[in-house]
A = this chain, B = another copy of it.
Amino acid sequence: MFTWRRQFSQTATLLKTAAMASSTPNTKAHSFQVIRDVPPLRTLRRELLLSNRTVGLVPTMGALHEGHLSLIRQAAAENTDVIVSIFVNPTQFGVNEDLSSYPRTWDSDVAQLEALNAELATQQTQTPNENPRGKITAVLAPTAQTMYPTLPPSSAEDGDGSFVTITPIARKLEGAARPVFFRGVATVCMKLFNIVGADRAYFGQKDVQQTVVVRRMVADFHVPTEIKIGPTVREQDGLAMSSRNVYLGARRRGVGLVLFRALKAAEEKYAAGSLRRGEILDAANRVTQRVLAEQQGLGPAERALFEVDYISLADPDTLDELDTVDPRRGAILSGAIKMAPLEESTPGEDCGLGEGKVPVRLIDNLIFPPRE
Asked if A237 CB lies within 8 Å of chain B CBs, one says: no
A2 to B149, CA, bound (A): 41
Given contacts A190-B221, A219-B149, contact A163 B165 (CB under 8 A): yes
- Quick check: is A289 within 8 A (CB to CB) of the other chain? no
| A163 B164 Cβ-Cβ under 8 A | yes
A1, A191, A219, A222: which has the most chain B beta carbons within 10 Å?
A: A222
Within 58-113 of A, Cβ neighbours of B (below 8 Å) are at none
Closest to A220 in B: B162
The answer to the question of A370 belonging to the interface, with a C-beta cut-off of 8 Å to chain B, is no
A333 to chain B, nearest CB (A): 19
Q: Is the CB of B217 within 8 A of A162?
A: yes
The answer to whether A149 touches B317 (Cβ under 8 A) is no
Q: Which chain B residue has the least Cβ–Cβ distance from A217?
A: B162
Check B167–A221 contact: CB distance below 8 A: no
Give the CA-CA distance A78 to B167 in the complex, in Å: 39
Not counting A162-B167, A162-B220, A164-B164, a sample of 12 additional A-B residue pairs whose C-beta atoms are within 8 angstroms of each other reads A1-B317, A150-B216, A160-B168, A162-B165, A162-B166, A162-B221, A163-B165, A165-B165, A190-B190, A194-B221, A194-B222, A194-B223
A59 shortest CB reach to chain B, Å:
14
* A224 contacts the other chain (CB 8 A): yes
Task: Judge if A125 is at the interface, Cβ distance under 8 Å.
Answer: no
Q: How far is the CB of A89 from chain B (nearest CB, A)?
A: 14
Number of A interface residues, CB 8 Å? 31
A163-B164, A163-B165 known; A221+B191 contact, CB < 8 A: yes
Determine how close the nearest CB of chain B comes to the CB of A11; give it in whole angstroms: 16
B222 touching A38, Cβ below 8 Å = yes
Residues of B within 8 A of A191 (CB): 220-222
CB neighbours of A190 from chain B (8 A): 190, 221
* B-contacting residues, A275-312, CB 8 Å: none
CA distance A21 to B1 in the complex (A): 49
Q: How far is the CA of A168 from the CA of B221 in the complex (A)?
A: 22
With contacts A1-B318, A161-B167, A318-B1 taken as known, whether A195 is within 8 angstroms of B222 at the C-beta atoms is: yes
Q: Are B219 and A150 within 8 A (Cβ)?
A: yes
> Is A42 on the interface with B (CB-CB < 8 A)?
yes
**How far does the alpha carbon of A13 sit from the alpha carbon of B342 in the complex, in Å?**
60
The answer on a CB contact under 8 Å between A1 and B222 is: no
11 sample A-B contacts, Cβ–Cβ < 8 Å, listed by A number: A1-B317, A38-B222, A150-B220, A160-B168, A162-B167, A162-B217, A162-B221, A163-B164, A164-B164, A191-B221, A195-B222
Of residues 213 through 231 on chain A, the ones whose CB sits less than 8 Å from some CB of chain B are 216-217, 219-224
Considering only CB atoms, which chain B residue lies closest to A225 in the complex? B194
Give the 8 A-B residue pairs with the shortest CB-CB distance, closest first: A162-B220, A160-B167, A194-B222, A160-B168, A195-B222, A162-B166, A163-B165, A194-B223
A291 to chain B, nearest CB (A): 35
Whole-angstrom CA separation of A305 from B179 in the bound complex: 47
Q: Say whether A315 faces chain B, with CB atoms less than 8 Å apart.
A: yes
In the bound complex, what is the Cα–Cα distance between A223 and B42 (angstroms)?
A: 11
Cβ of A341 < 8 Å from any Cβ of B? no
The residue of chain B having its C-beta at the shortest distance from the C-beta of A164 within the complex is B164
Q: How far is the CB of A103 from chain B (nearest CB, A)?
A: 26
- Docked-complex contact B165 and A220, CB < 8 angstroms: no
A148 within 8 A of B: yes
Distance in angstroms between the alpha carbons of A195 and B222 in the assembled complex: 6
- In angstroms, Cα B140 to Cα A118, docked, is 47
Chain A window 2-40, contacts with chain B (Cβ cutoff 8 Å), 1 for yes, 0 for no = 000000000000000000000000000000000000100
